[in-house]
Amino acid sequence: MQTEEKKALLDHFEGLQDPRSRQSPHDLRELLLVALCAVLSGADGWAGVAVWGRAKLPWLRQFLPFENGVASHDTFGRVFALLDAAVFEQCFIAWMRSVCGAFDGLQVAIDGKTVRCSTSAGGQAIHLVSAFAHGLGLTLGQVKTAEKSNEITAIPELLDALLLKGCLVTIDAMGCQKAIAAKIVARECDYALRVKNNQPSLAAAMKGFFDTAEPAGDPCVAHTQARWGGKDHGRIETRRRVVTDDLRCLGEGHGWAGAKTLVMVEATREIKGVASTERHYYISSWLADAERMGAMVRGHWGVENGLHGSLDVAFGEDQARMREGNSAENFSILRRIVLNLIRQDKSQKVGVKNRRLLAGWDDAYRQNLLGIQTIA
């Protein structure tokens, strides 16, 4: 990311409205700056944010006045619980669009994650659906599923918010819905959707096709094979990717907008002479060979380690106990902002957790990541 873009980070969040009904001694922009800096430096809750802010007050005053010092942790918690999470998310997406220039041509994996300790009294833990750009290692946006709803309704909202065009959108079985496929195509994007038993007719048709067509040497079926592991590891793993553009098994008027290919990925694992085999199926509007389809499948599951795993290991997201209002959702946006800032940094060759530690210790490194300028 270029310096000009980094310097404009806070400006992308000027659309946030202070949710407090009366004037406060602590400006919203100051609260946001402290929260971002503190989370970047290792804080995982509002108490940690306030403690970090008080310890770094002289440094913070290089950028904003902080005439009344740093707010208490209660103030941080109360304000971020009231802050409009949808507007905060729109600001985040606008910032990411300025970073990437455009989302065109990216493989975008959409996947959900429950923040386990965010359960409020009588309620349920929040579930967030995120869009992750595999090639960049960056989160492009997220939405929270509505109560008594699921990813099926959240995914279209996220697609609308991102304004994707020319991307390959990959989604697990929950998103394998005709309406979602149609929305992706309407956005001038391609899709690859995993097929499981939540679409029983489609799953049965694809299983039957690959069970019969491939052994019979159907000329419409192409495949590649790759092999991992070795005897010294006690494990041999073989994966085959099989692709066809023969959609007759779906029947006339199947309703899958833009569908061009069916994909089977077969994984065989042999450990100490005992073999097990799994098959996974995908329906796609993307016309690609088996090798590229295999890369697509691997790319999709990058969201597990690249996003969900990092949030749990480096940020302790599943242990965060924030249950009031929009607090948990807004803190999750702060985490994703920080993770994206760290992922764009090429100056260090250590993991996310250690980069957060470095940001806590090194004022210059923190300032460089945030791209903030001192006031005159």
Helices (H), 84-237: 85-100, 151-162, 178-186, 200-213
Domain assignments of the chain as residue spans, ordered by start: 3-97+322-370, 102-307
Q: Tell me if 311 sits within 8 A of 319, measured CB to CB.
A: no
Cα separation, 86 vs 329, whole angstroms: 9
Tens of pLDDT, residue by residue, the chain (376 residues): 343 444 458 889 998 999 998 888 999 999 999 999 999 999 999 999 999 999 999 999 999 999 999 999 999 999 999 999 999 999 999 999 888 877 778 899 999 988 876 666 556 778 899 999 988 999 999 998 876 678 899 999 999 999 888 999 999 999 999 999 999 999 999 999 999 999 999 999 999 999 887 665 666 666 665 555 445 566 787 888 889 999 999 998 899 999 999 999 988 888 877 889 999 999 999 998 888 898 899 889 888 888 988 988 899 887 777 778 899 899 999 999 999 999 999 999 899 999 999 999 999 999 999 988 888 6
- 135, with CB counted inside 10 A (0-12, 13-18, 19+), is exposed
Read off the pLDDT of residues 187-246 as tens digits, 9 standing for 90 and up: 999 999 999 999 999 999 999 999 887 665 666 666 665 555 445 566 787 888 889 999
Whole-model pTM: value is 0.88
Cα separation, 78 vs 325, whole angstroms: 9
Q: Which two tokens stand for residue 250?
A: 């779906």
Cα separation, 111 vs 155, whole angstroms: 9
Read off the pLDDT of residues 325-368 as tens digits, 9 standing for 90 and up: 899 899 999 999 999 999 999 999 899 999 999 999 999 999 99
